[in-house]
Amino acid sequence: MKHSQRRDVTLVEAVNMALTWEMEHDPDVVVLGEDIATNGGVFRATVGLKEKFGFRRVMDTPLAENLIAGTAIGMATQGLKPVAEFQFMGFIYAGMEQIISHAARMRNRTRGRLHCPLVYRAPFGGGIHAPEHHSESTEALFAHIPGLRVVIPSSPQRAYGLLLAAIRNPDPVIFLEPKRIYRALVQSVADNGEALPLDTCFTLREGEDVTLITWGACVMETLEAADELEKQGVSAEVIDVATISPLDRETLLCSVAKTGRAVIIHEACRSGGVGAEIAASIAEAGFLDLQAPVVRVTGYDTVMPYFGNEQAYLPQVGDIMEAVEQVIAL
Amino acid sequence: MKHSQRRDVTLVEAVNMALTWEMEHDPDVVVLGEDIATNGGVFRATVGLKEKFGFRRVMDTPLAENLIAGTAIGMATQGLKPVAEFQFMGFIYAGMEQIISHAARMRNRTRGRLHCPLVYRAPFGGGIHAPEHHSESTEALFAHIPGLRVVIPSSPQRAYGLLLAAIRNPDPVIFLEPKRIYRALVQSVADNGEALPLDTCFTLREGEDVTLITWGACVMETLEAADELEKQGVSAEVIDVATISPLDRETLLCSVAKTGRAVIIHEACRSGGVGAEIAASIAEAGFLDLQAPVVRVTGYDTVMPYFGNEQAYLPQVGDIMEAVEQVIAL
Amino acid sequence: MRQIHEFRVDSTRYLDDHGKPLGDLPQQARDTERTLAAYRNMVLTRTFDAKAIALQRTGKSGTYPSVLGSEVTGTVIGQSMAKTDVFVPYYRDQATHLMRGVALKELLLYWGGDERGSAWKQCPQDLPVCVPIATQCCHAAGVAAAFRIRGEHRAVVCCLGDGGTSKGDFSEAINLAGAWHLPVVFVVINNQWAISTPRSIQSGAETIAQKAIAAGLPGHIVDGNDYFAVTEVLDSALERARGGKGGAVIEAVTYRLGDHTTADDATRYRSAEELKKAWEKDGVKRLQNYLHAAGLWHPEQEKALQDQCRAQVEAAVAEYLATEPEPPTAMMDYLFASLPAELQSQRERIARKYRGGES
Amino acid sequence: MRQIHEFRVDSTRYLDDHGKPLGDLPQQARDTERTLAAYRNMVLTRTFDAKAIALQRTGKSGTYPSVLGSEVTGTVIGQSMAKTDVFVPYYRDQATHLMRGVALKELLLYWGGDERGSAWKQCPQDLPVCVPIATQCCHAAGVAAAFRIRGEHRAVVCCLGDGGTSKGDFSEAINLAGAWHLPVVFVVINNQWAISTPRSIQSGAETIAQKAIAAGLPGHIVDGNDYFAVTEVLDSALERARGGKGGAVIEAVTYRLGDHTTADDATRYRSAEELKKAWEKDGVKRLQNYLHAAGLWHPEQEKALQDQCRAQVEAAVAEYLATEPEPPTAMMDYLFASLPAELQSQRERIARKYRGGES
Ligand SMILES: Cc1ncc(C[n+]2csc(CCOP(=O)(O)OP(=O)(O)O)c2C)c(N)n1
Ligand SMILES: Cc1ncc(C[n+]2csc(CCOP(=O)(O)OP(=O)(O)O)c2C)c(N)n1
Ligand SMILES: [Mg+2]
Ligand SMILES: [Mg+2]
């Protein structure tokens, strides 16, 4: 029964909508985490699920991220499809051993006998005036781990379609939600259970002169910059990478083949960020297309400051404009 | 008393020599880990230390990497200089939260009031026929964390000098020891307490036609390839990055400015490896110098196979030759 | 052939919910000055707490975790610790920080999003506020190990919440404390809630103190709103620790009287009824009743104290609000002892970008 | 006012070190067929173990962890578990794997560096060998949670070593088992050593079973070399678990009679004296003595069994040595359910590089 009703929702509401749809249509989907049941999650992403599906499928866990990561793996080996929430990305690190050594490897090390159809959700990124450790963007750590998919939505529609795809995917997915834009925009989303493809970039805006490559909350500043650039007669193509691993290099390379110039924007610190892999790939495979070096607009190589100075850390529209001017100049 | 006696030692013996020297000369240096005291470490890196310095400074811990990482931090805030061993890099992940959220940040978040003059040692890399989880090369995870230094020796002399520097450095250092070459070569090392500089690449061989950039055990295959290339009339410069974070980009760029070509060799899987950051940096700052794309010779984007197939995963001399021919061709 | 091995934890209280002694008080109770000093700190803490919440509500500060309900235990910790001991806090220890000499302004800066709020002048060796749950337990073990290594007769007090005891860090740290006989006392502030998660979901263990048994440590339950009980149990635990007799785990039973933080709304998950009951056990009021009944405290003294605390807090707030923000370049200046060449250029970019950003 | 809360763990044994009953045996002892089946598995395991070590010594296999000393407990686990239960092992559970139907050849492939050694045909739901210490405890809790979610009356047995109990995973997992009443039994093989680290350095707790108290679970100590004791305690724990009465922690006390692995040299850290004493408690010999004394087993049966086990192992070894290595391309084929486009090119490179590498 595809009750294809449309709703105007924010990104976090779209997450809730996708979870609700999938739990209604697949009894194997369960959710677990800290404060996700009775409280509906500290960002309300799971609100209403316990009431609809009961505490057997919507589980408040004791306070232990390693346990959450590992318990989800055990559940997944039994064919359940757990969607586990880490309350903030800054607290996922305790789960790294389970994620790297087990979730990402179960299928490979058992030659397909067991696998991990699970999703690890976590709000990530800064800019919301949060206490320390609540503003991490360390997606690169997961993008370097074979066996994981790392998916980052940047709009209510993509949050809905990509989360459905992540839950249905038979392998582990790290699903990072840019909390800075959890409620930044409202979109009309058809609640019809239609998933979007993983492993694919989304071209949000076509352009001729330069390719702006980004993901997560930075998509907002990047689109803004593209508008500004247009006024200045510069036509920018904007690509939301969305699945940062495995990377859809083809879409990126085709765009650069067209524009000859690329600027990568991400919030994470510069060194070793996902921007490095993208820049390296473009510079290698697109060597003959590039008319200017691939430039990165990123956070600095330091710890995200406490919120008093967090804006000074985050890439801003002006920074993107400056970078584009730099590559266009060449 | 600098008893500058020379000894012919392997890389792992050089590690032991450096630990011994520094513990003799600095009472604040202590070592801890699993099986490091009575057993002298599973690779014998700490053999003899308990006998020389006693169990108060040489501590066998309970089996818990998160505890080892965190206890070392507590000790360091008291001005001790702990050198903590993770028995294998594959088991460091349980310590990630302590390393990322605390060791790397203590100085910054207390505005210098407290800091972490500690070293986390771990043997890393494959090629020794070990069981699964014993062949990890995930140095990129640490290279992306601001506040950490990540140092990788690739010879007995550099192991001695860099470990001394790491222990004396007032900030946390991840010291990764390429166990594949723990006993691969013997060098005469002066046991004189002289440290080598951190944050600096080492140019192991000068050349004109191409720059080969690598670190860790791959230095062996890279030097071999350079010899082969010479026979073919190709003059290769070989650089051991050594400190992969923070990165000495200047040395790398100067070399590429000279050769116009670069090949990066590392054992870790390709996507998001440290090779990506190096390639991106060279492609950006060296854009006008490059006569060919920067090519990476790396492990594949999959889990290191069990040892039956591990050789098929590791970069080999032939792979390096092939890559060089490719960039020279352009 | 079956054998039985027995283990035990004890629980202590001296005052009833209204401050009436249930029997003879421990001899510390004779130290009136100490008792009054504790009471003053509780009132100051509570005054500060209300103000900090108000600052967040009016956009003058960030998310803040109210300490309401932890004042008694927190104050005793600060009082029982020697200056040379080291305190390893979590993030709800305002009462202890104030006893240890942390400035009101420093607490305001920290929760106001300014790293300088952790550069404590008066207790330079205490560890900073710790947000990642239970991770501080391992640091506490490390500090205590440093004392043991150097043969110093100092002790560590580590605070965490009931939720924190579910995280492996706690078990690993108390286990090391037991194995190495470390001078560290773990005080679990059992306020019955971990955000919305009740104590019952946190663990099937009847008490939290019994988790000490897993580490071979003594475990004690104490009424966290009973000044005399907490004082006696903590004093003796610290004495044992400093005397080389090893650590302990103390479960201080109390209740989180406020929301988890200013970002939380506790009415979503707990009843007004439950909250009302908890207020009846309030330890600050309880001690005040005791002092009045014992003739050690009078209404006018109470009023004077209230005014004095308000004035002290207002002065700190004024200072806090008048503090110049740190220049953005500061984000690079404390990362390493000396900034690696590579990061210089990034710092220069920040300096260029922010007029006057150069420090 | 002081109150005391008491907790207990029990310990069980039925046979003395030489196999003589210390009193009445539990009724399971009457099941001679079961007892003999167990004994046969112990002998097969020990025969396999010696061969596996020999293969490593002669370069025909990789690092291997001898199971010497764990055969009795491991065999009982395999016997007490129902086919539909799930076993979550660590890496020294050969005795249990053989009882669960894992092929000798599969074990040889695994330790011989071939992933196909984990593609178990006979117990497809059992988790694979787990090398990262104690991490499997969380998986066990998850599998048990899946049973609870689906209302299935199945149980999980999770094995780990004494060293593993120091790692947070164990505490977190047993705590969840207690909080959620999960049908999971944790069996700690306390063989007194974690590589070179003795039990005494691992924890200050007098027993490992008492760690169950921290989770509100029943804790049992059992002589891990006493077939009847382990059988009784495990049978009843599994019955409780399947009956929805929750989990348990069982400490099986034994001794690691071999080196930690073939890469280890135990003479560096423990005395021949200690080892000799431990051999006197050997559980396999003990059961054999019992069977002989009870007239249930005769020397010629023993000889026949030995020959049969050797033949069985030799046949498996021949199969193992004759197994074609997996093509290098296999390293890409099981990473994801379907290989992402991006990885195709890497797979093709491998195929090109290795003539016949294409599968
Ligand atoms: C590792 C980690 N996980 C999650 C969080 C988010 N969080 C902050 S406080 C809290 C609850 C802590 O409860 P408790 O330990 O009882 O302390 P209390 O706040 O009740 O004093 C949670 C889940 C965190 N800060 N760190
Ligand atoms: C997380 C982790 N740390 C370290 C190791 C290395 N290691 C392998 S076995 C072992 C000792 C385990 O001892 P115990 O748990 O008692 O099991 P046993 O081997 O004695 O049966 C260690 C330290 C590991 N495999 N995993
Ligand atoms: Mg609490
Ligand atoms: Mg053991």
Bridge partner list, B264 = B213, B296
Q: Is the pLDDT of residue C358 over 70?
A: no
Q: How far is C202 from chain D (nearest CA, A)?
A: 7
Q: Is the pLDDT of residue C310 over 70?
A: yes
Closest CA to D146 of A114, A151, A122: A114
pLDDT tens for each residue of D165-217? 999 999 999 999 999 999 999 999 999 999 999 999 999 999 999 999 999 99
**Of these residues, D18, D269, D349, D352, which one is catalytic?**
D269
**CA distances, C269 to each of A36, A37, C266, C272 (Å):** 12, 10, 6, 10
Query: CA C166 to CA C159: how far, in whole Å?
Result: 14
Q: How far is B168 from chain C (nearest CA, A)?
A: 12
Q: For chain B, where are the alpha helices, taking DSSP H only?
A: 11-25, 49-53, 65-77, 96-98, 106-109, 139-143, 156-168, 218-231, 249-259, 274-285, 310-313, 317-329
Identify the helix (H) or strand (E) that includes residue A212: strand A210-214
> For every residue of C133-190, which 3-state class applies, written as one string?
CCHHHHHHHHHHHHHHHHCCCCCEEEEEECHHHHCHHHHHHHHHHHHHCCCEEEEEEE
The arithmetic mean of pLDDT across residues D221-225, rounded, is 98
Question: What order of strands is seen across the sheet that includes strand A262-269?
Answer: A202-205, A236-240, A210-214, A262-269, A295-299
User: pLDDT band at residue D356, thresholds of 50, 70 and 90?
Assistant: low
What's phi and psi for D25, nearest 5 deg?
Answer: -85, 155
Closest chain D residue to C211, measured at CA: D214
Atom from ligand 2 closest to the CA of residue D162: 16
Burial of residue A4 (CB within 10 Å: 0-12, 13-18, 19+) is exposed
Asked if residue D124 has a cis previous peptide bond (ω within 30° of 0), the answer is no
pLDDT of residue A1: 47
pLDDT tens for each residue of B21-71? 999 999 999 999 999 999 999 999 999 999 999 999 999 999 999 999 999
Q: Which residues of A260-299 are buried (b: 16+ CB within 10 A; e: fewer)?
A: bbbbbbbbbbbbbbbbbbbbbbbbbbbbebbebbbbbbbb
D189 C-beta closer than 6 A to ligand 2: yes
DSSP string covering D186-252, please? EEEEE-SEETTEEHHHH-S-S-SGGGGGGGT--EEEEETT-HHHHHHHHHHHHHHHHTTS--EEEEE
Query: CA D243 to CA D246: how far, in whole Å?
Result: 8
Around Cβ A233, how many Cβ atoms within 10 Å?
Answer: 7
Q: For chain A, where are the alpha helices, taking DSSP H only?
A: 11-25, 49-53, 65-77, 96-98, 106-109, 139-143, 156-168, 218-231, 249-259, 274-285, 310-313, 317-329
A34 C-beta closer than 6 A to ligand 1: yes
Chain C CB contacts of A179 below 8 Å: none
User: Pairing between strand C184-190 and C248-253?
Assistant: parallel
What's phi and psi for C161, nearest 5 deg?
Answer: -100, 175
Amino acid at D114: D
pLDDT tens for each residue of B84-109? 999 999 999 999 999 999 999 999 99
Cβ contact B62–D197 (<8 Å)? yes
**Two tokens at D8?**
């207990």
**Two tokens at C212?**
């000490």
Inter-chain contacts counted by CB atoms under 8 A, chains A and B: 148
The arithmetic mean of pLDDT across residues D66-72, rounded, is 98
pLDDT of residue C1: 81
pLDDT of residue B330: 79
The arithmetic mean of pLDDT across residues C247-253, rounded, is 98
Q: Is the pLDDT of residue B168 over 60?
A: yes
Nearest ligand to the C-alpha atom of residue D170: 2
Which residues contact residue A142 at a Cβ distance below 8 angstroms, ignoring those fewer than 6 apart?
Answer: A99, A148, A150, A174, A245
DSSP string covering B164-221, please? HHHHHSSS-EEEEEEGGGTTT--EEEEES-PPPPSS--EEEE--SSEEEEE-TTHHHH
Q: Which of residues 95-154 of D touch B (CB under 8 A)?
A: 110-115, 131-134
Share of chain B above pLDDT 90, in %: 98
Burial of residue D267 (CB within 10 Å: 0-12, 13-18, 19+) is exposed
Chain B CB contacts of A300 below 8 Å: 146
pLDDT tens for each residue of D86-109? 999 999 999 999 999 999 999 999
Share of chain C above pLDDT 90, in %: 97
User: pLDDT band at residue B3, thresholds of 50, 70 and 90?
Assistant: low
Q: For chain C, where are the alpha helices, taking DSSP H only?
A: 32-57, 71-80, 94-100, 104-111, 135-150, 168-180, 199-202, 227-242, 272-279, 283-293, 299-322, 330-333, 341-353
**Two tokens at C328?**
């953005």
Q: How far is A94 from chain B (nearest CA, A)?
A: 5
pLDDT averaged per 10 residues, chain A (length 330)? 81 98 98 98 98 98 98 98 98 98 98 98 97 97 98 98 98 98 97 97 98 98 98 98 98 98 98 98 97 98 98 98 94
Around Cβ D184, how many Cβ atoms within 10 Å?
Answer: 34
Does the pTM of the predicted model rise above 0.90? yes
pLDDT of residue B172: 98
Any idea which residue has 């005036």 for tokens?
Answer: A129
Q: For chain D, where are the alpha helices, taking DSSP H only?
A: 32-57, 71-80, 94-100, 104-111, 135-150, 168-180, 199-202, 227-242, 272-279, 283-293, 299-322, 330-333, 341-353
